[in-house]
Structure 1
Amino acid sequence: MINQETTVEILSPSQRLSAVASLGDPVRKQLFELLREREDAVSRDECAVILNLPKSTIRAHLDRLVEQKLLAVEFRKVGERTGPGSGRPAKLYKVVIDEVEASVPARHYDLAAELLAAAIQHSIDSGIGAQDALSEVAFDAGVKLGAEAGSIEAVLENTGYFPLPDGEGGTIMANCPFHRLSKDHTGVVCKLNGSLLTGVLEGCDDSSNSIEPDTNLSHCCARIVPKQPS
């Protein structure tokens, strides 16, 4: 099974572009870099003091970074005082994604790296072969993505596969999120990709489709094919 610490959090291509654009603002960039360096969540007031800016300005930029899914919010009491009379919990901010990249067309080399590293660790821990470990890890990651997204279509859109009808009732992927890796490591990447997408179908409880190889090298190695009635 996939290591519970393996992350499969994915920003859609549009979210990545929006996040990169958001960090083009110098104040938001300063805030993001400040929070990225902190191990614990930080309050708005502390950010305002460190950056020597008004609290209202800091609040507006923090809220924007939360909207872009770069920061998460948590509420808890700070300081040594606890219990009644110790005040309300403070609103604190923490970095969720500490690196943001955007590309056109969409690529997700971060996801590939995470799954490949998790597969190596799984192979070491379990003693199974690397290929089987990769299949298991990618499948489990796909299950999680499918369960969170609710449909194969949502995962394909968020991950940048650019699905298109094949004219025969199925779907081809006009873009490979792992394109550069697949050119030199075709077998490994296609195994990862097929297992990931098969897991997505499992996770979103899609029993009407299956994943099959697509030998057309002009796009992704996998295609979605409707299952034939038994």
Structure 2
Amino acid sequence: MGDAFSAIGALADPLRRRLYEYVAGRDDGVGREEVAREVGVPPHTARFHLDKLVEEGLLTVEHRRLSGRTGPGAGRPAKVYRRAAGELAVSLPERGYDLVGRVFAAAVERSLEGAPLPETLAEEARQAGRRDGTAYEGKGGELARSADVLADRGYEPTRVGDGLVLRNCPFDALAREHTALVCGVNHDYVGGVLDGLGCDHTSARLDPGPDRCCVRVEERPGRA
């Protein structure tokens, strides 16, 4: 695997970045032909750049039959690409330790003055989310606007049904060691974003799962 700076450099090429982002947005992995079709390049071009991303450790490869068929006549397994696990020191995907650091610092400062730390942590996380949501000036539906704000913070929101799955935890390293604490901060922050955006029919709930953020955003039943 290449070092962090080499991996970052691999994404300086705009086409390579687009290929990486398309693959990274797929939970189940994707074949070369689909990537080429969706990004709009010849398959041989896609293969060259995808294999370079594998060399740099940004993507991994497995082999499986994309048709789902087995037995004689099913054809050879195809090469399937997916985003590699792990975290680069120079943040790919983006990590938001500056945000969580400010939230923790403000909460601890208030706790030193006598306020209960769990409550101040929740309040500070929600206020941070509310500030980000209020500052957003884009237009669109609640999910679309929520996705824009959360994407800027590195959550990698993906539309799934009537909601958003957040494919990346911006506080990944902290979450591995202090899961309950960081999941609470994520939940309060995302809820604050929805408040700041004025979302009346969208909510954040805890929905832990492997290799993604513990929070899911969804439209509530009976929305207008």
- 1:194 aligns to 2:191 (yes or no): no
Match of 1:41 in 2: none
| Structure 2: gaps of 5 or more residues | 1-7, 13-88, 138-144
Q: CA RMSD in A?
A: 2.0
> Greater relative contact order (Cα 8 A, min sep 6): structure 1 or 2?
1
Structure 2: distance between partners of 1:212 and 1:136: 17
The whole-number CA distance in structure 1 between the counterparts of 2:222 and 2:115 is 35
Q: Secondary structure at the match of 1:203?
A: helix
Distance 2:147 2:210 in 1: 22
Letter in 2 for 1:135: A
CA deviations 1:11-62 (Å, max 9, x no partner) are xxxxxx8xxx9xxxxxxxxxxxxxxxxxxxxxxxxxxxxxxxxxxxxxxxxx
Q: 2:115 aligns with which of 123, 128, 143?
A: 128
**TM-score, normalised relative to structure 2:** 0.55
Deviation at 1:165, TM superposition (A): 2.0
- Please say which structure displays the higher CA radius of gyration: 1
Letter of the aligned partner of 2:166 in structure 1? M
Deviations 1:134-187, CA, capped at 9 Å, x for gaps? 000111111111000143222112111111122x31110011100010000011
Instruction: Output aligned runs, 1:174-185, within 5 Å.
Output: 174-185=167-178
Q: Give the aligned partner of residue 219 of structure 1.
A: 212
Residues in 2 aligned to 1:195 and 1:124: alpha-carbon distance in whole angstroms: 21
Once the two structures are superposed, the pairs formed by residues 1-230 of structure 1 within 5 Å of their partners are: 102-125=90-113, 127-150=114-137, 151-166=145-160, 168-229=161-222
Number of paired residues?
Answer: 131
> Which runs of at least 4 in structure 1 moved beyond 4 Å after TM superposition?
none
Q: Deviations over 1:188-220 (max 9, x none)?
A: 111111111101111110112100111212200
* C-alpha distance in structure 2 between counterparts of 1:154 and 1:119, whole Å: 27
TM-score, with normalisation over the residues of structure 1? 0.53
Distance 2:134 2:90 in 1: 25
**Cα contact 2:147–2:164 (8 A) shared by 1:** no
Paired with 2:149 and 2:208, the residues of 1 have a C-alpha distance of 22
In structure 2, C-alpha distance between the alignment counterparts of 1:122 and 1:202, rounded to whole Å: 23
Return the alpha-carbon distance in structure 2 between the equivalents of residues 102 and 145 of structure 1.
23
What letter matches 1:187 in structure 2?
A
Aligned to 1:88: none
Structure 1: segments with no counterpart, 5+ residues: 1-16, 22-100
Q: Distance in 1 between matches of 2:134 and 2:185?
A: 18
